[in-house]
Amino acid sequence: MPEMTLTTLVLLCLAAAAAGWIDAVVGGGGLLLLPALLLGLPNVPAAHILGTNKAVAIVGTAGAAVTYVRRAPVQVGTAVRIGLMALAGSMTGAFFAAGISSDVLRPVIMVVLLGVAAFVLLRPSFGTAAAGDGTGKKATRARTVTAIVLVGGGIGFYDGLFGPGTGTFLVLALTAVLHLDLVTASATAKIVNVCTNAGALAMFAYQGTVLWQLGALMAVFNLAGALFGARMALRKGSGFVRGVLLVVVFSLVAKLGFDQWTA
């Protein structure tokens, strides 16, 4: 475990719990977790930050996926097929991520954060109402193939390479391509996200770029946040998360922008 103050360690654990909660409710927990690691461990190579992020995120995502599958309608077969393609895509992305520096990673994350913030602002109904036809009926073969190739392969590659916002992007893409309602899309996204995290984590572990001790500690908090968030989403809906998500996104953009400018 890298040297850090007790305050930094506590803040990282709290960020992991909050990220698990956000990811389970509306997706995009990496928008909080990855920047928090970058800010808390400024002298750690970017590849180790990315690897540790995956070690933390996969635990909370798996816990949320189990909770959703038990209580929400999910086409598990379709989710697994998309997830297998996403696993291959994320391993490929993680392979290329080894050469990325923090100086490159910060502006990329800032662009992603601003993109997600713009979408949430321009679509007030996002996360508050069902999308598509809301029927959850079995998708056509063409839509399923499109989801496997584009959603699985494309977003999987992005998750392995960078990661933040993957859960949100998955929910949006699955809703658009398969015409799922928001709850079903969120549940399906969690299964796919477990696969992308597993593929990327396997590659990072092979390359030796995972801080396992720190990751294990943060994963406990991430799992607690994810389980709480999944139950809350199923019980109350995720509209109330929009305000929190926007505050977090703009705060992180400001901080990362300041760090990039001073660097």
**pLDDT for the residue numbered 239:** 64
Structural domain count of the chain: 1
**pLDDT for the residue numbered 12:** 96
Residues 6+ away with beta carbon under 8 Å from 29: 19, 20, 21, 22, 23, 57, 60, 167, 222, 226
Cβ(185)–Cβ(171) under 8 Å? yes
**pLDDT for the residue numbered 238:** 56
> In whole angstroms, what is the distance from residue 125 CA to residue 121 CA?
9
**What is the Cα Rg of the chain in Å?**
17
Residue span of the structural domain in which 243 resides? 6-262
**Position 1 in a domain:** no
**pLDDT for the residue numbered 242:** 64
**Position 73 in a domain:** yes
Chain centre distance of CA 50: 12
**pLDDT for the residue numbered 13:** 96
**pLDDT for the residue numbered 173:** 84
Q: What is the mean pLDDT of each run of 10 residues along the chain (263 residues)?
A: 87 94 79 87 89 93 88 81 91 81 73 78 63 48 84 88 77 81 81 88 92 96 93 72 69 73 71
**pLDDT for the residue numbered 193:** 87
